[in-house]
Structure 1
Amino acid sequence: MASQQQPTISISASPHEDPERMRKVMNTHIEKVFGESDVATRGKTMEPLYHEDVTWFQPGEYSGAHAIIRGRDNVNATIQKEQDQFPGFYITHDDEGYIAVTQNLGIVHWKLGPREQPDMIKACHYVLFEDGKVKAFWTAHLKMPEGPPS
């Protein structure tokens, strides 16, 4: 089997990120980026919060293949695609509103589902910051339905 070239990401280990800024960005990340249904509004919200070359690492629970989405516009398009795939689903912070920060890494927990079952999916994003903006983030699912949500 031929080896596939893996994309690289340059990660800063800067301990100089502002924890309060990180928390605010992660709140907006959930509420006004992933929670926004209008692609243009979401794109404008993303500009000051995400590096243009932001990278999103997604797990592959249902597809069997992990996804790596590169670039602010591609992240926006992927969010829209997922929202279109699951109409009537809403993302909110988990019940505890858990956000943790250390140096340039943040963790935000969230839940997703229809209004009648808002915690159908529970997950978190591990968010890497550089110069006050999101450089990369990883999705980790904590609770998933048996098959793809419908």
Structure 2
Amino acid sequence: MTTVAELMEANLLGVFNERDDERRAKAIAETYAPDVTFADPEGVVTGHEDLNAKAKGLLEQSPGFVFAPAGPVLVNHDLGHLAWAFGPAGAPPVVRGIDIALVEDGRIRKLYTMLLPD
């Protein structure tokens, strides 16, 4: 079974950092429950297709930008927390944030992203 820490890393690097549509779709199927809910300051999306569109749109708006972990994954039973940075490869990040996920039955069921102030 996939651990909460592995799911958090897959969320950041395998989904939101993945520009290849097929690899991202495969990672989504392996990482999230079919009815996953993702909430960020822009709104809420539900399900694999909407989550995929969200990740793809973000990457298309930010060519050359990459996500990177900004610390270790923290886990408390079924809850995961991962800080991240996003910006041009090899340069200081433009945005920092945290992802918090609720895991059920080995998949992320709910995911919340919060942006950190500058």
Is this a same-fold pair by TM over 0.5? yes
Q: Report the equivalent of 1:28.
A: 10
Q: Distance in 2 between matches of 1:118 and 1:33?
A: 21
Deviation per CA, 1:32-58, whole angstroms, max 9, x where unpaired? 111110122101111121101101001
Q: Compute the TM-score of the two structures, normalised by the length of structure 1.
A: 0.73
The residue identity in structure 2 corresponding to 1:41 is R
Q: Which residue of 2 aligns with 1:14?
A: none
Q: Residue in 1 aligned with 2:23?
A: 41
Counterpart of 2:32 (choices 6, 25, 50) is 50
Question: 1:116 offset after TM fit, Å?
Answer: 4.7
1:132 aligns with 2:106: yes
- Match 1:72 to one of 20, 35, 48: 48
Q: How many residues align?
A: 118
Alignment of 1:89-100 (within 5 A): 89-94=65-70, 97-100=71-74
Q: For the Cα contact (< 8 Å) 2:35–2:109, is it kept in 1?
A: yes
Please list every run of 5 or more consecutive structure 2 residues that lacks an aligned counterpart in the other structure.
Answer: none
Opposite residue 138 of structure 1, the aligned amino acid is: Y
Letter of the 1:84 partner, please give it.
Answer: E
- Unpaired stretches in structure 1, ≥5 consecutive residues: 1-17, 61-66, 145-150
Q: What is the aligned-residue identity percentage?
A: 28
Equivalent of residue 107 in structure 1, options 66, 72, 81: 81
Give deviations 1:51-105, integer Å, cap 9, x for gaps: 0110100114xxxxxx0011111101111011111111111111xx221111211
2:63 counterpart letter in structure 1: P
Q: CA RMSD in A?
A: 1.6
